[in-house]
Structure 1
Amino acid sequence: MASISTLNPSKTLPIISPSPSSHSIQNNHPFPSSSSSTIHFKTLQFSPKLSIVMAASKQQQHELSLNALTNSDRRDEVLIAAKSSLSNCLSETNLHLTIPALKSKTRGKVRDIYDGGDYLVLVTTDRQSAFDRVLASIPFKGQVLNDTSLWWFNQTHHIAPNAILAVPDQNVTIAKKCSVFPVEFVVRGYVTGSTDTSLWTVYKNGVRNYCGNALPEGMVKNERLPANIITPTTKAADHDVPITPDEIVQQGLMSQADYDEASRKALSLFEYGQRVASEHGLILVDTKYEFGKGPDGSVLLIDEVHTPDSSRYWLAHSYESRFQKGLEPENVDKEFLRLWFKDHCNPYEDKVLPDAPEDLVTELAWRYIFLFETITRSRFQIPETTEPIHDRITRNVSKALSLL
């Protein structure tokens, strides 16, 4: 019989001590190891707000430096593990062929979504997406995204209820079915970015009203906006299309009431995420949210929250000095991989893209883990590689579905 355990009970982040041992990270990983003989079915419990206890001063907290990102024993450990796992990335899943209870599969850029009747089974793969296409497969990425979202879903339930029911595997979330709004709520705090739809790209091309937001004259790249803004997008065949709130309602994509509620939640989630990031020495620059409507009519947060895939993060302590010098911020996200592809090909038009260099792939694996450990103050559990990931997921999801 599978055991039942509690997912993410109300918790306080560990105290950071100024002693030499202060840099150790407690291992309180919520998932079973891949060799576990039981499946841990998890029920969400939430505290009304995140409690952050810090013994260090705010000044010390904000001095998260690039050295911690680029030079550490932990980085070396992760890079070695990532290199050895390059051949065991989860690039594709076919659970509907191995689990009878799953009826069909929808393949997203990163997630494979399976119809389980009353539930959806969402598998977060290691596929790396940018420019509306898959660029590479990154070791451990799927688990990092699932872990990161789970942590944020737990911390933000007081702002926006979510659709999460259970997490039976490191890469898998089981969620309530809901009617998904065909709109992504992109929230931005800074004028930055390198893609065709990024705020800096459209701003430098002269656009001063973007997705219904009036933008002031005279801004420069990486400057903070006077206030956070929402720049919604909707889906075309294979890419995101900017849209205004009025157009969303006029085209029947959302009712005015649903849009107003979702946009309020999106701005509140982003402001909360910025506060938490700041307390951990980071700047949450921009992100995206997706929402759906539950059977009871409630607007639910779905997909992912504040992950390094959906969000841009900068190191806080060096931002101002680098901005004043016209230098790019020190970032902890996939921007460096985006820039590599832009330098070596046309990622929007070339039919075949070059392979990403191995050192960039493993570096991105480390940056995702670094961000998870910095935000959550918990140690990322590097998965065992003796069992193929797809086999492990099949076993764990089958057990979980038998309990629903």
Structure 2
Amino acid sequence: MTRSSWWTEILTTIAAIVLALIIGAVVMVVSDPDVLDKYAYFFYRPGDALAASGDKIGSAYFALLKGAVGSWGAITQSTSQAAPLILAGLGVALAFRAGLINIGGQGQAIWGAIFAAYIGFGVHLPLVIHVLVALIAGVLGGAIWGGLVGWLKARTGAHEVIVTIMLNYVAIRMLAWLLTTPAFQRPGRTDSISPIVDWTATFARLAGSQLHVGFVLALLAAAAVWWLLERSTLGFALKAVGANPHAAATAGMSVARTTIIVMVLAGALAGLAGVDAALAPSDSGVPVPLSNGIVGDVGFDAVTVALVGRSRPVGVVLAGLLFGALHTGGLGMQGAQTPGTVTDVLQALIVLFVAAPALVTRLLPFLRRRAARSATPESTGALT
């Protein structure tokens, strides 16, 4: 990439977010009956409709911003929401860079949570050692589940999209079954819930906030993925295979070996997202018990994060923070009489525009002209 094209991508992504916010504002207006009533006499008193629309949009977006970053507690809550999205998003992005479509982040995160939670409540170890062992176990669980996809792809040619989707369902059903077994079901309970993880295996957090070790791990993982992609021999082979596997094989690279390694690493990163779900402290200070919904939809949201982040580590971090803030701020929007589903609409619109840069540049001519200049041979200043 040239420096000019790099800036063009940044501007295009920002423009996509702005366009999503504009359309989201329209959605808020048309979904509010009180505001729509004032448009019935728009040509007689346009000020009423415009003022009501402005109040609606302003109060909703102010509530969103305040709920996401309006206080130290809101900021740390946003980072808490962002941590698993960043980790799982890195797993999807890494696979994307190798030409693989990893839709299996959900299953990989589930196995990461299963392994980490079991060590957390089933094995009793000293402080620090306990959380490290649980962390390693969770990474191993995700890596095994991801590596299985890579092995099937490399040895049998099975398409990774089909395999990862099917393995998501296998992981979901396996978790449901495990929670009915004596090893995982909480004593004295008949519902699908595990014992609580020991405090020695819980991620440490900053007092009075939701900022915990999981967010630090997400940033360290992003730095590690950046180094892998930009500074290591494996990263070069990974990108070469992703760009053209036939040319990479001709150059002597093992496409099968690279595929397996990439999926192991992608699964490990998604497994870390599951570890975060299993070991991160809740508002009460203790982790949420292992249950059927332990990881939420993090594996599916990770695809969104990877797309918005352009499959680059820094972009994934920023996208994870954006969606983490949207999740947190969405609760504030509900207090402003705005349905929480509007944040889902915003996320969908952001993904739509980011995934279709040609649409954004067509809507905004100045970006189209900039993109054309970036593609010319005169564009200099290549990025490392």
TM-score of Structure 1 vs Structure 2, range by shorter chain: under 0.3
More strand by proportion, 1 or 2? 1
Higher RCO (CA < 8 A, seq sep 6+): 2
More helix by proportion, 1 or 2? 2
Larger radius of gyration: 2
